[in-house]
C-alpha cells in the first residue's frame, strides 16, 4: 500500500465530463476515504477505490441547472482539501444550450519545470500560459472544454529528474525497460508530476476536459505494424507495461471522458458503482478486474472501446481511438478494426451545426507526406519484393510513418463516411466536418479542395495543434515545411505513377502553416462561422508567468450552395494578447 501522506489529496480535483445537468470530479487521495464535492448548497459523495495500492474517486454530480456557474469545494472524509490557500476558487460551469460552444485543444506535453532551464529544454508550456490568462484576465472568454488529444504523459522517456530518481530508487535502470516506465506504480508517479504544478492543477480543476491516448502515453510507435507488435510482445517486460499503461489510462483519463449514463454501462465501473451501492465500509480493490480488462483490451481490441462522443450544444464531438483499435494484419491493415469502424459508422451523423472529429493523428496530413507514407505502406506490405519490404519497414519505424495515410484502407473508408455526412446523406449536412488533431509537432490548417464540386454541402477541414510543450528540432521543421509545400507536386507525380499506391478520392491542400511554436488552439462556434486561433506562451519577464500571443487565426464560413472555394479569411500577422483571445 502507499505511504500515509500529511496531505489527504494527492492529485486533483479534475473537472471532467460536464453537460447541461451533470458533472464528474476526479481525485487521487493518500488513503482510503470518502470524497465529497460541495456546490451551491448541495453535496455529492463517493468512496475511493484502490488500484495497485493507490486510491482514486470519481464523484458524479447530478441534478445541476443548465447554464449555472458556481464555485465548488472538496472534502476528503471531514477534511477540507480544496480550494487551496492562495489559489483561485474552482467553478463548475454547466453547458448552456443558448451559449455558442468553445473548445481548446492540443497534444504532446512533456513534463518539466517552468523556470528558465525548463523553458530552454521544453519551450514555454502553452497550456499553462492559457491557464494564467484565464486566471488573470477578466476579459478572457472561457472554453467549455479542454480536449487533450494524446501524449499527456511520456512513458518512454524520463526528462524529469524527480521521476528518474523515483524509478532508480525502486529498481536498476540497467535492466529492461531501462529508463522507461515499468509498471502502474511508476505510471502513477508520472501522472502526478505531469499534473501537479499549481497552475495546471487549478486549470484542470475548473476547465472540463476530455482526453485520448497516443503512442507516448504507452510507447513510441505503439501498434505501428504487425511486425512491431510481434517483436514487442516477445520482450520480457512488455506485458506488464501495456497492462499498466492501459490501466493507468483508464483511471487517470478514460473514466472522466464518459457521461454518467456511459459510466453506468462501462464494465469495470459497474463494479465501482455496485460496491458503493452496497454500503460496504471496505475500500474496493479494483486491481484484478482492471488488470484483466486491460490485458484483454490489448489482446482482443474489439472487446473494449476507448472512443466516445460528446454533445456540445448543437455540435457533435466524436473522439476516435487511433492507436489501440488498429487492425495490423498485413493483408488487411486499417487504423480502425471492423468493430470500431461499425461504431464510427453508427455515431457519425449530420443534423448538427458542426461535426468535430478528434483523432490524435492528423487525418489529412500535408499531401506530400500523405503520398510518402502511402508509398511506404505499399513497399512495406511487399508490393515491390521482400528486400524492399524489409527496408520500408525499417524506415516506417525509424521516422514514424504510421499515420492514417499508412493505413490506406481505413483512411478511404472513414473519408467516405465523412463525405456522406458532408453530402447530407446522414441527416442535414453540417456547416463543417472539422478534424481536430495533433501528434506531428507542428500546426497547420488544411481543407478538402472544392467540396461543392464533389457534391458536398459542408467544408471538410483539418486543424492540427501540436505540441503544447515539446518543440520539434529545427532540422525536422525544414522537412515538414517541404512536405507541406515544395514536395507536394513531386510526391504526387511519383505516387500517381504507381499502380500499387491508390490516389486519394478527395484531394485537399494545406491552406495555412505549418508553424512550430508550442501552441494550444481555440475553436469558437459563431452564429455564421467557425473561428480558429492558435496561441503560444511568451516570456517577457518572470519565466513562471508567460503571456499569450496569437500565432494565427482563421474564420471558416459556411459553404455557399453554388460557390466552391475556400472560406478562410483573416491573415496570420502575429499580435499581442488581445481581448477575447483566451
Q: Is the distance from CB of 513 to CB of 501 less than 8 angstroms? A: no
Give the other-Cβ count within 10 Å of 577's Cβ: 18
Q: What is the 3-state secondary structure (H, E, C) of 335-400?
A: CCCHHHHHHHHHHCCCCCCEEEEEECCCCCCCHHHHHHHHHHHHHHCCCCCHHHHHHHHHHHHHCC
Cα distances (Å, whole numbers) of residue 495 to 373, 481, 491: 10, 19, 6
**DSSP for 46-86?**
EE-EEETTEEEEEEEE-SPPTT-EEEEEEEETTEEEESPTT
d(CA 523, CA 530): 7
Kind of pairing, strands 354-359 and 459-464?
Answer: unpaired
Would you state the pLDDT for residue 2? 43
pTM, to two decimals = 0.93
Q: Could you give phi then psi for residue 105, rounded to 5 degrees?
A: -145, 160
| The pLDDT of residue 1 | 38
Structural contact between residues 172 and 110, judged by C-beta atoms closer than 8 angstroms: no
Helix 488-496 vs helix 367-380: crossing angle, to nearest 10: 30
Q: What is the pLDDT of residue 495?
A: 66
Contact 374, 451 (CB under 8 A): no
Distance between CA atoms of 28 and 7, rounded to whole angstroms? 11
Helix (H, G, I), strand (E, B) or coil at 409: helix
Three-state secondary structure call for residue 480: helix
Q: What does the DSSP 8-state code read for residue 327?
A: B
Ordered by start, the domain boundaries in the chain are 99-146+307-371+396-472+507-582
Cell of 223: 501498434
The three-class DSSP label of residue 572 is coil
Q: Is the dihedral of CA 121, 125, 129, 135 positive or negative?
A: negative
Distance CA 99, CA 145 (A): 13
- DSSP one-letter code for 454: G
Kindly give, in sequence order, each residue whose CB lies less than 8 Å from that of residue 122, ignoring residues fewer than 6 positions away: 110, 112, 159, 469, 470, 471, 518
Nearest to 193 by CA among 89, 118, 91: 118
Stretch (H or E) spanning 17: strand 9-18
Specify whether the CB–CB gap between 187 and 244 falls below 8 A. yes
Give residue 375's pLDDT: 86
User: What integer pLDDT is reported at residue 571 of this predicted model?
Assistant: 37
Distant-in-sequence, close-in-space partners of 3: CB < 8 Å, separation ≥ 6: none
Q: Per residue of the chain (582 residues), give pLDDT as tens.
A: 344 557 999 999 999 999 999 999 999 999 999 999 999 999 999 999 999 999 999 999 999 999 999 999 999 999 999 999 989 999 999 999 989 999 999 999 999 899 999 999 899 999 999 999 999 998 888 999 999 999 999 999 877 889 999 999 999 999 999 999 999 999 999 999 999 999 999 999 999 999 999 999 999 999 999 999 999 999 999 999 999 999 999 999 999 999 999 999 999 999 999 999 998 999 999 999 999 999 999 999 999 999 999 999 999 999 999 999 999 998 889 999 999 999 999 999 999 999 999 999 999 999 989 988 988 888 888 878 889 889 989 988 888 889 999 999 999 999 999 999 999 999 999 999 999 999 999 999 999 999 999 999 999 999 999 999 999 877 777 767 776 666 667 767 666 666 677 788 899 999 999 999 999 999 999 988 999 999 999 999 899 899 999 999 999 999 886 333 334 343 333 333 333 444
CA distances from 165 to 3, 161, 170 (A): 18, 6, 9
**Could you count the other beta carbons within 10 Å of the beta carbon of residue 529?**
17
Distance CA 525, CA 72 (A): 28
- CA dist 520 and 350 (Å) reads 27
Q: Give the integer Cα–Cα distance in Å for 227 and 566.
A: 42
Contacts of 255 (CB under 8 A, 6+ apart): 16, 26, 58, 263, 266, 269
What is d(CA 181, CA 570) in angstroms, rounded to the nearest whole number?
45
Which tens digits make up the pLDDT trace of 176-188? 999 999 999 999 9
Q: Does domain 99-146+307-371+396-472+507-582 have CATH number 3.60.21.70?
A: yes
User: Which of 100, 141, 130, 134 lies closest to 530, judged by CA?
Assistant: 100
What is the model's pLDDT at position 503? 81
pLDDT in tens, 394-405: 988 888 889 999
Angle among Cα 565, 99, 26 to the nearest 5 degrees reads 110
Determine contact, residues 75/81, Cβ cutoff 8 Å.
yes
Instruction: Round to whole Å and give the CA distance between 344 and 336.
Output: 9
Residues 440 and 394: their CA atoms lie apart, in Å, by 19
Map 230-276 to HEC letters: HHHHCCCCHHHHHHHHHHHHHHHHHHHHCCHHHHHHCHHHHHHHHHH
Please spell the DSSP secondary structure of 149-212, one letter per residue: -S-SS-TT----HHHHHHHHHHS-TTSTTTTS--SHHHHHHHHHHHT-SHHHHHHHHHS-EEE-
Task: Specify the pLDDT at position 261.
Answer: 96
H or E element, residue 489: helix 488-496
Instruction: Report d(CA 260, CA 177) in Å as an integer.
Output: 38
The answer to whether the beta carbons of residues 45 and 114 sit under 8 Å apart is: no
Residue labelled with grid coordinates 528486400:
387
pLDDT at 35: 98
Amino acid at each position: 500500500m502507499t505511504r500515509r501522506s500529511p496531505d489527504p489529496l494527492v492529485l486533483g480535483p479534475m473537472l471532467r465530463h460536464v453537460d447541461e445537468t451533470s458533472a464528474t470530479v476526479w481525485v487521487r487521495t493518500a488513503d482510503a476515504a470518502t470524497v465529497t464535492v460541495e456546490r451551491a448548497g448541495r453535496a455529492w459523495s463517493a468512496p475511493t477505490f484502490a488500484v495497485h495500492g493507490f486510491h482514486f474517486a470519481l464523484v458524479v454530480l447530478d441534478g445541476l441547472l443548465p447554464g449555472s456557474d458556481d464555485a465548488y469545494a472538496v472534502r476528503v472524509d471531514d477534511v477540507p482539501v480544496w480550494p487551496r490557500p492562495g489559489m483561485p476558487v474552482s467553478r463548475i460551469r454547466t453547458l448552456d444550450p443558448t451559449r455558442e460552444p468553445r473548445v481548446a485543444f492540443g497534444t504532446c506535453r512533456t513534463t518539466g519545470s517552468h523556470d528558465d532551464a525548463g523553458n530552454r529544454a521544453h519551450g514555454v508550456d502553452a497550456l499553462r500560459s492559457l491557464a494564467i490568462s484565464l486566471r488573470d484576465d477578466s476579459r478572457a472568454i472561457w472554453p467549455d472544454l479542454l480536449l487533450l488529444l494524446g501524449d499527456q504523459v511520456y512513458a518512454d522517456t524520463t526528462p524529469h529528474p524527480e521521476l528518474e530518481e523515483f524509478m532508480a530508487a525502486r529498481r536498476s535502470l540497467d535492466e529492461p525497460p531501462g529508463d522507461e516506465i515499468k509498471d502502474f506504480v511508476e505510471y502513477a508517479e508520472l501522472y502526478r508530476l505531469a499534473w501537479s504544478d499549481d497552475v495546471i492543477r487549478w486549470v484542470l480543476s475548473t476547465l472540463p476536459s476530455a482526453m485520448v491516448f497516443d503512442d507516448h502515453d504507452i510507447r513510441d510507435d505503439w501498434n505501428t505494424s504487425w511486425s512491431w507488435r510481434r517483436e514487442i510482445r516477445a520482450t520480457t517486460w512488455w506485458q506488464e507495461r501495456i497492462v499498466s499503461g492501459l490501466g493507468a489510462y483508464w483511471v487517470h483519463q478514460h473514466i472522466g471522458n464518459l457521461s454518467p449514463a456511459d459510466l453506468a454501462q462501462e464494465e469495470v465501473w459497474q463494479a465501482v458503482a455496485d460496491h458503493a451501492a452496497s454500503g460496504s465500509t471496505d475500500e474496493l480493490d479494483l486491481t484484478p478486474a482492471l488488470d484483466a480488462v486491460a490485458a484483454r483490451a490489448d489482446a482482443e481490441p474489439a472487446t473494449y472501446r476507448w472512443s466516445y462522443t460528446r454533445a456540445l450544444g448543437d455540435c457533435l464531438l466524436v473522439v476516435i481511438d487511433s492507436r489501440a483499435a488498429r487492425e495490423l494484419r498485413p493483408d488487411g491493415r486499417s487504423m480502425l478494426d471492423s468493430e470500431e469502424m461499425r461504431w464510427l459508422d453508427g455515431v457519425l451523423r449530420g443534423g448538427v451545426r458542426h461535426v468535430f472529429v478528434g483523432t490524435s493523428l492528423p487525418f489529412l496530413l500535408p499531401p506530400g507526406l500523405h503520398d510518402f507514407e502511402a508509398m511506404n505502406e505499399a513497399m512495406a506490405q511487399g508490393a515491390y519484393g521482400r528486400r524492399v519490404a524489409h527496408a520500408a519497414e525499417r524506415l516506417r519505424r525509424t521516422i514514424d510513418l504510421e499515420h492514417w495515410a499508412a493505413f490506406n484502407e481505413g483512411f478511404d473508408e472513414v473519408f467516405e463516411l465523412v463525405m456522406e455526412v458532408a453530402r447530407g446523406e446522414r441527416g442535414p449536412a453540417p456547416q463543417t466536418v472539422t478534424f481536430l488533431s495533433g501528434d506531428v509537432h507542428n500546426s497547420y490548417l488544411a481543407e478538402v479542395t472544392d467540396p461543392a464540386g464533389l457534391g458536398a454541402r459542408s467544408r471538410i477541414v483539418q486543424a492540427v495543434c501540436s505540441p503544447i510543450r515539446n518543440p520539434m528540432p529545427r532540422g525536422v521543421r525544414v522537412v515538414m515545411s517541404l512536405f507541406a509545400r515544395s514536395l507536394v507536386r513531386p510526391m504526387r507525380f511519383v505516387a500517381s505513377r504507381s499502380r500499387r499506391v491508390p490516389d486519394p478520392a478527395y484531394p485537399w491542400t494545406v491552406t495555412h502553416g505549418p508553424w512550430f511554436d508550442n501552441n494550444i488552439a481555440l475553436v469558437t462556434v459563431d452564429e455564421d462561422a467557425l473561428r480558429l486561433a492558435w496561441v503560444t506562451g511568451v516570456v517577457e519577464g518572470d519565466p513562471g508567468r508567460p503571456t499569450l500571443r496569437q500565432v494565427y487565426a482563421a474564420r471558416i464560413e459556411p459553404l455557399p450552395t453554388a460557390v466552391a472555394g475556400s472560406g478562410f479569411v483573416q491573415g496570420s500577422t502575429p499580435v499581442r494578447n488581445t481581448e477575447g483571445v483566451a
